[in-house]
Structure 1
Amino acid sequence: MEKETTNQRRPKVILTGASGYIGHNLMQKLIQDYDVIALSRHGDSHENEEHVEWRSCDFYSMDDALESLQGADYAFYLIHSMMPTAKLTQGDFEDMDAILADHFARAAKKNGIKQIVYLSGIVPDGVPEEELSRHLRSRLEVQRVLESSGVPVTTIRAGLIVGPQGSSFPILYKLVQRLPVMTLPTWTRTKTHAIALDDVLNSLKNSLGNEDVKGRAVDVGGPDVMSYKEMMQQMADVLDVKRRFIDVPFLTVNLSRLWVTLVTREPREMTYPLIESLIHPMVAHPDMKVEGISDGHISFKQAAKDSLEEEKKKKEDEERKQRESSRNEESKPTKQEETVTKADVRSVQRVTLPEGKDARWAGEYYIHWLGKAMLLRPFIRTETSEDGVSRIFIRFFSRPILELSYDASRSDENRAVYRITGGMFANAKDAHHGRLEFLMIPGSSDCVVAIHDYMPSMPWFLYKYTQAKLHLVVMYAFRKHLESQGSLGKSSTSKKAGGSVGTPSSLEAKG
């Protein structure tokens, strides 16, 4: 009997963002009781160890998502897309977050994942969703997308997480460290519920397999509820520096985004959405707390001290390793990764479809529209063959500029995938990696139109300021065209496009 207990199978947990700030620290707690499948965009650069298996995964690829989530019982969703992942990224992080969540949710469902635990942000009470910051609206949308798969989702909602190498706390630290005098706008008097990193990690781990929190959102917070000004004052005490704070009666969020970015030197892609969220009070709601999960025990000041000490120790370790080895081959990206980083394109835009339409219809209609749009008609023509291959031509040219092959195996009414399989504008060697996707946002008429892993054939500088810009103009025109088609759903030509791809005759009347 004792031998059976020793050999008992440990549950397997998917950990996304395993090389990131939260994921790396959470892994150390999980391996005490679970086998971890650690996912990262460059997972191949990590060595497997006891209870940890590394896998490379790009969640912009549905194929990658399906393969990477195999063999697990539970999954942590710790993904966000604020930072660009391609040489050229066009689009809003909210739309990219929706794509990543959709692929993850579908893959979790198909692989039999029993529970998804998702780290989100506290939603302020009484604020209509349309008035929330972009960051919080996106967090809510991601929650809905994850839940749409039918897999039970536990959403852990936290305010400012106090820990090294995070997002919000390092900004706070750098402001206090670098500015002896600070003028504080009104948002710095907004209350927030800070929580120590270790407390958040415990909340996440304790939610795993917990039947009481499946299918619900849980607010978490530490023992202190403070304004940002109060946190800055405590941060000054921790650093043992004198700082002068001057209140100003303005809600200068836009200006604050700029000076915070300049002072902290953090990427604007990260700081802008976070600063926009600071106008909202983010305090854990009593009715959304769960015993054993919600209540952190470490004070803000103690968490700040621990974080700075850990950061100092890590910096010393890194300096020591650099002295020991000036060149670490394993930490460098492979040649293939370097090539992708230098040459690929990701462009994501959102459109609203007419009532009753879906992603399959959107894909067919878009290709047909390209050849019929007033803006493009003098220059562009399209044709679609019966086998689902669509070709886009510049008029009077015999060779297509792009060739799109419909992938029926990866498509349904909520998702339409076209592989970029050729054309003068595509890098022939890598064209098979590129794709055009149409993805419905669950519970809405919104459809995200995305180009992934596209490798242009023309010189990069020329592409960036011609074809890339033209694509944005075309997508803007397509969105405006759909907005003008409010009556499309009521016409006889608006039947759901569930027929064969490549027969756009039913679309002619409304092109």
Structure 2
Amino acid sequence: MNETKRRPVVALTGASGYIGQNLLKKLTKYADVIALSRNGDNKQDTEHITWRSCDLYSMTDADKGLEGADFAVYLVHSMLPSAKLSQGSFEDMDVILADNFAQAAKRQGVRQIVYLSGIIPESEQLSRHLRSRLEVEEILRAYGVPVTTIRAGLIVGPKGSSFPILKKLVKRLPVMALPKWTRTKTHPIALKEVLHALNKSIGNNHLSNKAIDVGGPEIMSYQDMMVQTAESLGKKPRLFPVPFMTVKLSRLWVSLTTGTPKEMVYPLVESLVHPMTAKEENMDSEVSYGKVTFKEAVQTAIEDEKEEEQQAAKQQPNSQGLKVPDIQHDVRSVQRIPLPAGKSADWAASYYVKWLSDTLNPLVHTETDQQDNTQICLKLIRTPLLELSYSQERSTSDRALFYITGGSFQNSKRNVRGRLEFRKIPDKQECIVAIHDYMPSLPWFIYKYTQAKAHLVVMYLFRKHIEKIIEQARVPAHSN
């Protein structure tokens, strides 16, 4: 086939998710899609869709997932836990996901990344959620692949995060107390217009390396949206403003009322103190200006949700008898530490091993050979607690990777991909220390409240130690 007539290949992350499923339908009209999902092997390929299982916490998986792609769409967010035990903040999890994706895109020759983010207000004190969205954008750009960022406020659709939470509040509460943040202005946009913006950005040189704000025809407060949503649902809740409900209290109230996990609700509610309206200087005539009103978008979302529920009810009998998968007793623990000036992730890994031995002496000592393989041992006991095998081929100065290959603390029968990594964050003097896919040997309840807690304490002490080194390095400069 002539190259000019070849259908482009688009790698789509989160292809089985809320936005990914809808975008997939648009993409297949003109492109062949590599649909990436954690459970892609369980999906059926079609003429223009190839499913691939891909865990973006693994750089190897990221490389395999993007192999053969011309363009890539990044719809990943890590608010919800990705392991039976997840320790660490969603911000630090997102760093690993974005960094693996961006590096893989560079190696696989991807020509453009299209990223869906949130509108970034002009504020020196951004919420954790918005700060993380911006950090992800910076990481995706760090390796030279052109990035187009579509920044949207509240997306109105039957699923997702913000709008379903708002709808549940209106539906379940006949009386609603409205704290101050409900008067904050935002720029809602219909799902179909976000899909249009994403779709039109792929391969669009005009939008390359730009961050584009998108929004519907109305700028509204959350109170206005609650009123219009209530009308669409045939509800008339009594609304009254209250001055005393803080954001912290509100996020708990919203989580309990809607039944939405706090891991999702808390960061979103914390962001509601910021006005999230599209800025004219960041808008583009081709993709930014939505025409669907909020009321129309709400009615469409309600109708789509009813239709999906009807289809699910029809398919319910066919789902009986499915085998329930075994519970994966895996651990992911991710912490961020500062790095002294000029130091690398490789330095942090080596220093950590030495510090661990010095700090836990005389109970624990470490042994490292010439290939940087390390054993963590208890004194007077021959069997090591953990054996860490250094991966020469997967490590660089910015990333030190160790596979967990032995020791009494790991489940030798179930451990397949357990690993420890030290990873420098691009363009920052900070490092991520992460344990992935670790399968402990201790009974789960005992592990959770002993070894897992001990690891957090050790990482806290290590971070404080590094902060002290950095502070001591500054002292001579101040004294001069």
The TM-score normalised by the length of structure 1 is 0.91
The equivalent of 1:352 in structure 2 is 338
Q: C-alpha distance in 2, partners of 1:231/1:188? A: 9
| Distance apart, 1:349 and its partner CA | 0.4
Contact 1:191 1:282 in 2 (8 A): yes
* CA pair 490-181 structure 1, distance change in 2 beyond 3 A: closer
Q: 1:423 is matched with which residue: 398, 407, 412?
A: 407
Q: Name the CA shift for 1:412/1:33 in 2 (closer, same or farther; >3 Å).
A: same
One-letter amino acid of the structure 2 residue matched with residue 72 of structure 1? A
Cα distance in 2 for partners of 1:352, 1:428 equals 33
Match of 1:246 among 215, 240, 246: 240
Aligned residue in 1 for 2:306: 312
Task: Name which of 155, 160, 166 aligns with 1:166.
Answer: 160
Matched, 1:405 2:389: yes
Does structure 2 conserve the Cα–Cα contact (< 8 Å) formed by 1:352 and 1:445? yes
User: Using the alignment, how far apart are the partners of 1:487 and 1:258 within structure 2?
Assistant: 37
- 1:73 corresponds to 2:70: yes
Aligned residue type for 2:101: F
Cα separation, 2, equivalents of 1:156 and 1:215: 11
CA change 1:228–1:318 in 2 (3 A) is same
CA distance in 1, matches of 2:233, 2:15: 30
1:57-206 pair list within 5 angstroms: 57-125=54-122, 127-128=123-124, 131-206=125-200
Secondary structure at the residue paired with 1:416? strand
Could you tell me how far apart the structure 2 residues matched to 1:224 and 1:281 are?
14
Q: Residue 54 of structure 1 aligns with which residue?
A: 51
Q: 1:20 aligns with which of 17, 21, 24?
A: 17
Q: CA deviation at 1:216?
A: 1.2
Secondary structure of the residue that 1:245 maps to in structure 2?
strand
Superposition deviation, residue 368 in structure 1: 1.1
- 2:186 corresponds to which letter in structure 1? T
| Deviation, structure 1 residue 431 | 3.5
Counterpart of 1:277 in structure 2 is 271
Indicate which of 291, 299, 303 corresponds to 1:297: 291
Structure 1 counterpart of 2:440, from 418, 435, 456? 456
RMSD over aligned CA atoms reads: 1.6
- The residue aligned with 1:380 is 364
**Structure 1 Cα separation of the partners of residues 341 and 306 of structure 2:** 56
Paired with 2:305 and 2:471, the residues of 1 have a C-alpha distance of 59
Q: 1:389 to 1:256 in 2, by over 3 A?
A: same
In 2, Cα distance between the equivalents of 1:240 and 1:463?
50
Contact in 2 for aligned 1:236/1:243 (Cα 8 Å) = yes
SS in 1 for 2:117: strand
Pick aligned residue for 2:424 from 430, 435, 440 = 440
Residue 42 (str. 1) matches residue 39 (str. 2): yes
Q: Shift of residue 328 of structure 1?
A: 6.5
Residue 320 (structure 1) shift: 1.0
Distance 2:423 2:246 in 1: 36
> Letter of the aligned partner of 1:307 in structure 2?
A
Structure 1 residue identity aligned to 2:104: A
Shift of 1:378: 2.6
Contact in 2 for aligned 1:354/1:488 (Cα 8 Å) = no
> How far did residue 489 of structure 1 move?
6.4
Cα separation, 2, equivalents of 1:413 and 1:326:
49
Moved beyond 6 Å, runs of 4+: 487-491
* 1:326 Cα offset (Å): 4.0
State the shift of 1:24 in Å: 0.6
How far apart in 1 are the matches of 2:467 and 2:245? 34
Deviations 1:63-88 (A, max 9, x none): 11111100010000000100101111
Matches of 2:264 and 2:460 in 1, distance apart? 25
Cα distance in structure 1, aligned partners of 2:155 and 2:351: 45
Question: Which SS does the other structure have where 2:365 is aligned?
Answer: strand
- SS for the counterpart of 1:444 is coil
The residue number in structure 1 matching 2:478 is none
SS at match of 1:448: strand
- C-alpha deviation, 1:490, in angstroms: 9.0
Q: Which amino acid in 1 is paired with 2:337?
A: V
Change (3 A) 1:389 1:261: same
| Residues 187 and 279 in structure 1, CA contact (< 8 A), matched pair in contact too | yes
Question: Does the C-alpha gap of structure 1 residues 301 and 328 become closer, same or farther in structure 2, counting only changes over 3 Å?
Answer: farther
Q: Does 1:369 align with 2:355?
A: yes
CA distance, structure 2, for counterparts of residue 391 and residue 168 of structure 1: 46
Provide the rounded CA distance (Å) in 2 between the counterparts of 1:39 and 1:432.
Answer: 21
AA of the residue aligned to 1:148:
A
CA distance in 2, matches of 1:381, 1:272: 40
Tell me, yes or no, if the aligned pair for 1:357 and 1:489 is still in contact at 8 Å: no
Return the alpha-carbon distance in structure 2 between the equivalents of residues 394 and 312 of structure 1. 60
Where structure 1 has 5 or more consecutive residues not aligned to the other structure, the ranges are 492-511
CA deviation digits over 1:350-376, x for unaligned, max 9?
000111101000111111111011xx1
Segments of structure 2 that go 5 or more residues without pairing to the other structure are 476-480
Q: Which residue of 2 aligns with 1:473?
A: 457
Given that 1:164 and 1:308 are in contact with CA atoms closer than 8 Å, whether structure 2 keeps it comes out as yes
**CA distance 1:194–1:490, shift in 2 (3 Å):** closer
- Tell me the amino acid that sits aligned with residue 455 of structure 1: M
2: CA distance between counterparts of 1:204 and 1:251? 37
Q: CA offsets per residue over residues 332-360 of structure 1, 9 Å max, x none?
A: 67x5xx3xx43110000000011110100
Task: Give the alignment partner of residue 218 of structure 1, picking from 182, 204, 212.
Answer: 212
SS at match of 1:321: helix
How far does residue 396 in structure 1 lie from its aligned partner after superposition?
A: 1.4
Alpha-carbon offset, residue 242 of structure 1? 1.2
Structure 1 position 327 matched with structure 2 position 320 = yes
DSSP 3-state at the match of 1:342: coil
Q: Choose 72-81 or 427-436, whichever is displaced more.
A: 427-436
Whether the 8 Å contact between 1:356 and 1:489 is mirrored in structure 2 is no
| Displacement after TM superposition at 1:248 (Å) | 1.4
Cα deviation 1:188-208 (Å, max 9, x = unaligned):
000000000000000000011
Q: Partner residue of 2:280?
A: 286
TM-score by length of 2: 0.96
Partners of 1:415 and 1:437 within 8 A in 2: yes
Q: Which moved more, 1:55-64 or 1:456-465?
A: 456-465
